[in-house]
Amino acid sequence: MAFIGKKYKLDKSENFDEYMKELGVGMVLRKMGNTVSPTVEITKDGETYTMTTTSTFKTSAISFKLGEEFDEETLDGRKVKSVITLDGNKLVQEQKGDKPSTIVREFNDNELTTTLTIGSVKSVRIYKAA
Ligand code: ACD
């Protein structure tokens, strides 16, 4: 779990606009989403993980235990049930709700690759350790 306590900053983003469109995110918010370069940090206290996404526009934090469903309010304001599991060096998040989506965060050396999928639409975002 070399990723605990590291800060990752967005470096490249592919197809994120399409992903947000598929989620039904409006134009103004999509513009923000496409413009900002957020920083992601995961900390761990006992069995509880906290993932904080910081940006100039909005900051969000979710706390979870692996394999335990929790209530999440997404950055675009959807209220979903999420479950996050750890698969080797990947945190796999399943969001349930009207628009089920999977978010895989894979940690390699000094890089975080976030792959967001909804239906047939996929966005890949590469973060570099700050
Ligand atoms: C990531 C992306 C995680 C974001 C996942 C879903 C959010 C959907 C839409 C975002 C819409 C508006 C938010 C706009 C800006 C906030 C900045 C943070 C964007 C991550 O983990 O890479």
Q: 2-35: per-residue pLDDT in tens? A: 899 999 999 999 999 999 999 999 999 999 999 9
Q: pLDDT tens digits for 100-128?
A: 999 999 999 899 999 999 999 999 999 99
Contact predicate 52/61, CB 8 Å = yes
* Residue 89 pLDDT level (bands cut at 50, 70, 90): very high
| Residues 6+ away with beta carbon under 8 Å from 94 | 82, 83, 84, 100, 102
In the reported structure, the alpha carbon of residue 33 is separated from the centroid of ligand 1 by a whole-number distance in angstroms of 6
| Residues 6+ away with beta carbon under 8 Å from 87 | none
* Pure H helices in the chain: 16-23, 27-35
Residue 101: name the closest of 86, 88, 114 by CA. 114
Mutation pick for ligand 1 pocket among 75, 94, 95 (CB with most ligand atoms within 8 Å): 75
Provide the whole-model pTM: 0.95
Average pLDDT over the chain reads 96
In the reported structure, the alpha carbon of residue 29 is separated from the centroid of ligand 1 by a whole-number distance in angstroms of 9
Tell me, what's the pLDDT at 12?
98
Burial letters for 6-42: b for 16+ Cβ neighbours within 10 Å, e otherwise?
bebebeebeebbebbebbebeeebbebbeebebbbbb
Total count of residues recorded for the chain: 130
Tokens linked to 3: 């990723």
Measured CA angle at 117 (ends 17, 3), to 5 deg: 100
For 7-129, give the CATH class. Answer: mainly beta
In the reported structure, the alpha carbon of residue 34 is separated from the centroid of ligand 1 by a whole-number distance in angstroms of 9
